Amino acid sequence: MRIVICDDHPVVLLGVKAILAGQSSALQVVGEANGGAQLLKVLEAVPCDLVITDFSMPGNGPHDDGLPLLRRLLAAHPGLPVIVLSMIHNAALVQGMLRLGVRGVVDKAGMMTELLHAVRAVSAGRSYVGQSLASAIAQGSDAARPAEPDGAPPLAALSVREAEVVRLYAQGMSVTEIAATIRRSVKTVSKQKNDAMRKLGLESNRELYDFAKANGLLF
């Protein structure tokens, strides 16, 4: 299966590739993009069987992310299966994605455990909605994420931004360097690092590095 992936966060692109590569050699990433406009250009040039894309991405125009992007993508490539990665739990938006023809929607926070389920379902001609997003739809409003099932990788407890900070810190960057790289304040980056350690039950920087290495945040 030839797959094109799109996300404006490099750490997410790396994470998706690692998840797919760790599963099977039959899943091949043949193209990457960091925004909606670039994704459409890649799809014009690279044949593929599946697209995995972020939902919210900064762009140069009003049609570079969100529902407008999905509408353009699906109109230009009818029949091409699309899986959306999203942090959004708004029931109306998730239902909007599905009505447009999106075949799978996966919560980024549960990506480690749910993305492969979504790929398998979509490749078999079925649709897939992640657990927390399905709960949001059922409740008809924003829903709190349910607790991760026993045995789920602890990385699922982290937000994308926290995972990004953990990865950069584990690579040897200081909090100040990370803040400059990802254009956040030192205070924000420090808080995200501390929040990640608290969620993971880690007490030292060494433990944080070991966690990043064991959970695919270092390559």
> How many domains does the structure of the chain reveal?
2
pLDDT at 95: 79
Residue 219, domain member (yes or no): no
- E strand spans, the chain: 2-6, 28-33, 50-54, 82-86, 104-107, 128-129
The last residue of one of the domains, among 110, 139, 168, is: 139
Phi then psi for residue 48, to 5 deg, are: -150, 170
Q: Which of 49-63, 83-97, 134-148, 153-167 has the lowest mean pLDDT?
A: 134-148
pLDDT at 78: 94
Residue 150, domain member (yes or no): no
Say what the pTM is: 0.63
The answer to whether residue 75 scores a pLDDT higher than 60 is yes
pLDDT at 157: 60
Residue 24, domain member (yes or no): yes
Long-range contacts for 61-68 (Cβ within 8 Å, ≥24 apart)?
61/37, 63/36, 64/35, 64/36, 64/37, 65/35, 65/36, 67/93, 67/96, 67/97, 67/100
Helix (H) or strand (E) run with residue 132 in it: helix 131-139
171 and 130 in one domain?
A: no
pLDDT at 121: 95
Neighbours of 186 (CB within 10 A): 14
Pairwise CA distance, residues 65 & 84, whole Å: 11
177 and 88 in one domain?
A: no
33 and 127 in one domain?
A: yes
The answer to whether residue 219 scores a pLDDT higher than 70 is no
Condensed to tens digits (0 to 9), the pLDDT of residues 151-168 reads: 444 554 666 677 778 877
Query: 203: domain range?
Result: 158-214
Condensed to tens digits (0 to 9), the pLDDT of residues 13-64 reads: 999 999 998 876 789 999 999 999 999 999 999 999 999 999 878 666 556 7
pLDDT at 5: 97
The answer to whether residue 116 scores a pLDDT higher than 90 is yes
Residue 105, domain member (yes or no): yes
Residue 128 CA from chain centroid, whole number: 15
- Compare 150 and 138 and report the one with higher pLDDT: 138
The answer to whether residue 110 scores a pLDDT higher than 60 is yes
Pairwise CA distance, residues 167 & 88, whole Å: 23
Residue 146, domain member (yes or no): no
Condensed to tens digits (0 to 9), the pLDDT of residues 157-213 reads: 666 677 778 877 887 889 998 888 777 899 999 999 999 888 888 889 998 888 777
CATH value at residue 90: 3.40.50.2300
Instruction: Please provide the distance, in angstroms rounded to a whole number, between the alpha carbons at the two ends of the chain.
Output: 23
